[in-house]
C-alpha cells in the first residue's frame, strides 16, 4: 500500500473553500463573536487536561465543514491507518513511520513487514529503565569509582532538539544529574560545555541515528580525546554510551557493545525523542517521568486515531493551518507558550515542521503550484510581547498564533501566574478584537498609529499543569498536525533530501582546503 496521490487543489472541497473564502475573508472576528454569543463554547474541544479554543479563528461552521471534506476527499482516514499500521508511507526512503509504536502502551501488536516490533520496543524501554536506574541511583561508577553527576548529550537536529527541549521543559521534575547538550560543530560550543566538567563523574551519550553526522562525530571525537587526557582507554566503557542504528560504526568508535542503545530506521530523527534518543530525558527526570511522557503521547495517538475529524484536535489544527496558508496566503505561524519552561518549543517545532513539510514536489514527483509547509517561529510569552508582537498586532502580515498556557504554575506563585495568564488572554483578545478608530482616545494626529485592525487569528491551548504526561500529548498533537498537512498537500513528509546539498558542498569545501 502507499499513500494516495491526490492533488488537493483539484478536489471539490478546495473549490468550495475558494468560493467560501471570498465570502468570509472580509468578515471580522468581532462580527463572528457578536453573531454567536456561544462561539467560544461551540469552538472549544476538551481532551484530558487540555482545552483547545478555536473560536478566535476566521472560520465558521461552513469553513469547518469544507475543511473536513478536504480531509475526506484527500483520503486522510486511509492515510492514518497506513501510518499507524506500519505501511511504508516514507516511500522515498522505503520506510514505515512508526514513532507511534515507541509509545504504544496498549497490548496491540504493531507489524512491520509482518513482524511485531513491540517485543523489541519493550525490550529497549527496559534497557533504558535499567540504565537510568543504575546511573540515577549512583550505582553506575566512573573509572575512579565515583558516581555520575553530569550527562552530556552529543547530537544534532532530531538527536538534540527534542531531548534538549524536553529536558528544559521538565526541569521542575529533574533529579540531581545535570544534563548538557552539545550540538554545533563550532568548537567553542563543545569547549564551553566540557571546560567545567570532571571526566571522573561525567557520562557522554553520543546520539546519532546514522552515526555519520559530521557535527556529532567531530564533537564526540574531540570529547573522547579530551577524556583520554585524564583517563585510559579502558575507562571509555564507563563513560561513553551511544544511541544509533549503525552498530558497526559505534563499535569502531570504541563504545562498549553493552552500552549501545539501538533504534530503528522506521523512527525519523525529528520524531525520535520517544525512542532511545530520549535517554538523556530519562536520565534527567527518571524513567517513571519518561514513561509518563510516552503515556501522554499514546493518549493523544488514540485521540487522533479514533476521533471524528470535526472533533479531532490535530486534524482541526492542521486544517485551520491549511486555511490560512493556502487561502489567506499567510506565510508563517507563531508559537507562543506562556511558560518559560517551553522556551525551546518553537526551535524544536521548527525542525519537526519545516524539515517535514518544506517540500515543493508532490507524491507524483511533480513540481507543486500551491503552497506547502509554513515558516514556524516564536518564543515564550511574555518576553515575546516585548520583542516581536508589535509586528503581529500592527504589521502588514497575517500571522496565525498558537497560545499555549497552563492553568496552574508549578511552584504555585499565584501573583506571578495571574499576571502571566492575564497577558496570555490579553494578547489573543487584542489580536482578535483590535481597537477601532472610535475606541481610540488620542491626539487626532496620532490616531491612525494607535488603531489596531484586529482580526488576527489564534488558537488557545490551555492545559491544566505542565506534567510529563501533558507535555507528551502536546508534542504529539503537533506531530500529527504535521502528518495531516503533509497528507493533504500530497507531499512526502518523512524524508529530508533538502539538507543534503549543503552537507555535500561543506565536505567538498573542507576537503579542498
Could you give the residue numbers annotated as active site? 355, 386, 503
Specify the stretch interacting with ligand F6P by CB under 6 A; choose among 22-30, 153-161, 377-385, 457-465.
153-161
Binding mask 487-506 for ligand F6P (x = CB under 6 A): ---------x--x-------
Query: Smallest gap, in angstroms, from Cβ of residue 36 to ligand F6P?
Result: 44
Contact positions with ligand F6P (CB under 6 A) in 334-373:
355
- Are 300 and 344 within 8 A, CB to CB? no
Specify the stretch interacting with ligand F6P by CB under 6 A; choose among 98-106, 207-215, 440-448, 486-494.
207-215
Nearer to ligand F6P, 270 or 344 (CB): 270
* Distance of alpha carbon 336 from the chain centroid: 13
DSSP of 270-300: GG-TTTGGGHHHHHHH-HHHHHHHHHHHHHH
Those residues with Cβ within 8 angstroms of residue 436's Cβ, 6 or more apart along the chain or in another chain:
451, 454
Q: Grid coordinates standing for 298?
A: 499514546
Please report whether residue 208 would count as binding ligand F6P according to CB under 6 A: yes
Those residues with Cβ within 8 angstroms of residue 224's Cβ, 6 or more apart along the chain or in another chain:
236, 240, 253, 254
Q: Which of 125, 156, 220, 297 binds ligand F6P (CB under 6 A)?
A: 156
Helix 187-194 to helix 214-228 angle (10° resolution) is 40
Nearer to ligand F6P, 261 or 327 (CB): 261
Query: Smallest gap, in angstroms, from Cβ of residue 496 to ligand F6P?
Result: 5
User: DSSP E strands: which ranges in 43-177?
Assistant: 44-47, 50-53, 111-112, 115-116, 150-154
Q: Which of 58, 95, 103, 270 binds ligand F6P (CB under 6 A)?
A: 270
- Are 290 and 132 within 8 A, CB to CB? yes
Nearer to ligand F6P, 151 or 352 (CB): 352
Please report whether residue 269 would count as binding ligand F6P according to CB under 6 A: yes
Query: Smallest gap, in angstroms, from Cβ of residue 253 to ligand F6P?
Result: 13
Please report whether residue 210 would count as binding ligand F6P according to CB under 6 A: yes
Query: Smallest gap, in angstroms, from Cβ of residue 355 to ligand F6P?
Result: 6
Q: Strand, coil or helix: what is 152? A: strand
Whether the CA torsion 105, 266, 322, 70 is positive or negative: it is negative
Those residues with Cβ within 8 angstroms of residue 501's Cβ, 6 or more apart along the chain or in another chain:
none
**How far is Cα 241 from Cα 112, in angstroms, rounded to an integer?**
28
Give me the residue label for grid cell 549543503: 502
Query: Smallest gap, in angstroms, from Cβ of residue 412 to ligand F6P?
Result: 37
Nearer to ligand F6P, 8 or 158 (CB): 158
Please report whether residue 158 would count as binding ligand F6P according to CB under 6 A: yes
Radius of gyration of the chain (CA): 24
Nearer to ligand F6P, 158 or 378 (CB): 158
Q: Which residues would be at the binding site for ligand F6P (CB under 6 A)?
A: 156-159, 208-210, 213, 216, 269-270, 355, 496, 499
Amino acid at each position: 500500500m502507499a499513500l494516495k496521490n491526490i492533488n488537493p487543489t483539484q478536489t471539490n472541497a478546495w473549490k468550495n473553500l475558494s468560493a467560501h473564502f471570498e465570502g468570509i475573508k472580509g468578515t471580522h472576528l468581532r462580527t463572528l463573536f457578536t453573531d454567536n454569543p456561544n462561539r467560544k463554547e461551540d469552538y472549544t474541544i476538551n481532551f484530558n487536561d487540555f482545552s483547545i479554543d478555536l473560536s478566535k479563528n476566521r472560520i465558521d461552521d461552513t469553513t469547518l465543514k469544507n475543511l473536513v471534506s478536504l480531509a475526506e476527499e484527500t483520503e486522510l482516514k486511509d492515510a492514518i491507518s497506513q501510518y499507524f499500521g506500519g505501511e511504508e508511507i516514507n516511500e522515498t526512503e522505503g520506510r514505515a513511520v512508526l514513532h507511534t509504536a515507541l509509545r504504544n502502551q496498549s497490548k496491540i501488536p504493531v507489524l512491520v513487514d509482518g513482524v511485531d516490533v513491540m517485543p523489541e520496543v519493550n525490550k529497549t524501554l527496559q534497557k533504558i529503565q535499567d540504565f537510568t536506574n543504575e546511573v540515577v541511583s549512583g550505582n553506575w561508577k566512573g573509572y575512579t569509582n565515583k558516581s555520575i553527576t553530569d550527562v552530556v548529550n552529543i547530537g544534532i537536529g532530531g538527536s538534540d532538539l527534542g531531548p534538549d527541549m524536553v529536558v528544559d521543559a521538565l526541569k521542575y521534575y529533574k533529579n540531581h544529574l545535570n544534563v548538557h547538550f552539545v550540538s554545533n560543530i563550532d568548537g567553542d560550543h563543545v569547549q564551553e560545555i566540557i571546560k567545567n566538567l570532571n571526566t571522573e563523574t561525567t557520562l557522554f551519550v553520543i546520539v546519532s541515528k546514522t552515526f555519520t553526522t559530521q557535527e556529532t562525530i567531530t564533537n564526540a571525537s574531540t570529547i573522547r580525546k579530551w577524556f583520554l587526557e585524564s583517563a585510559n582507554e579502558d575507562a571509555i566503557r564507563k563513560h561513553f554510551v551511544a544511541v544509533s542504528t549503525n552498530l558497526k560504526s559505534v563499535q569502531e568508535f570504541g563504545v562498549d557493545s553493552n552500552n549501545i542503545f539501538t533504534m530503528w530506521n522506521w523512527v525519523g530523527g525529528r520524531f525520535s525523542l520517544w525512542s532511545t534518543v530520549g535517554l538523556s530525558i530519562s536520565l534527567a527526570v527518571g524513567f517513571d517521568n519518561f514513561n509518563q511522557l510516552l503515556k501522554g503521547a499514546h493518549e493523544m495517538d488514540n485521540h487522533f486515531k479514533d476521533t471524528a475529524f470535526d472533533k479531532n484536535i490535530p486534524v482541526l489544527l492542521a486544517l485551520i493551518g491549511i486555511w490560512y496558508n493556502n487561502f489567506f496566503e499567510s506565510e508563517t505561524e507563531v508559537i507562543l507558550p506562556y511558560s518559560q519552561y517551553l522556551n525551546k518549543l518553537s526551535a524544536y517545532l521548527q525542525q519537526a515542521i519545516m524539515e517535514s513539510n518544506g517540500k515543493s514536489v508532490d507524491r507524483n514527483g511533480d513540481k507543486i503550484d500551491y503552497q506547502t509547509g509554513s515558516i514556524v517561529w516564536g518564543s515564550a510569552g511574555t518576553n515575546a510581547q516585548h520583542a516581536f508582537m508589535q509586528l503581529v498586532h500592527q504589521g502588514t502580515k497575517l500571522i496565525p498564533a498558537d497560545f499555549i498556557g497552563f492553568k496552574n504554575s508549578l511552584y504555585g506563585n499565584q501573583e506571578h501566574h495571574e499576571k502571566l495568564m492575564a497577558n496570555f488572554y490579553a494578547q489573543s483578545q487584542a489580536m482578535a478584537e483590535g481597537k477601532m478608530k472610535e475606541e481610540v482616545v488620542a491626539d487626532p494626529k496620532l490616531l491612525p498609529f494607535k488603531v489596531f485592525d484586529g482580526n488576527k487569528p489564534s488558537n488557545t491551548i490551555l492545559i491544566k499543569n505542565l506534567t510529563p504526561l501533558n507535555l507528551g500529548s502536546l508534542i504529539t498533537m503537533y506531530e500529527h498536525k504535521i502528518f495531516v498537512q503533509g497528507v493533504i498537500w500530497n507531499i512526502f513528509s518523512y524524508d529530508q533530501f533538502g539538507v543534503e546539498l549543503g552537507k555535500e558542498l561543506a565536505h567538498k569545501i573542507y576537503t579542498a582546503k
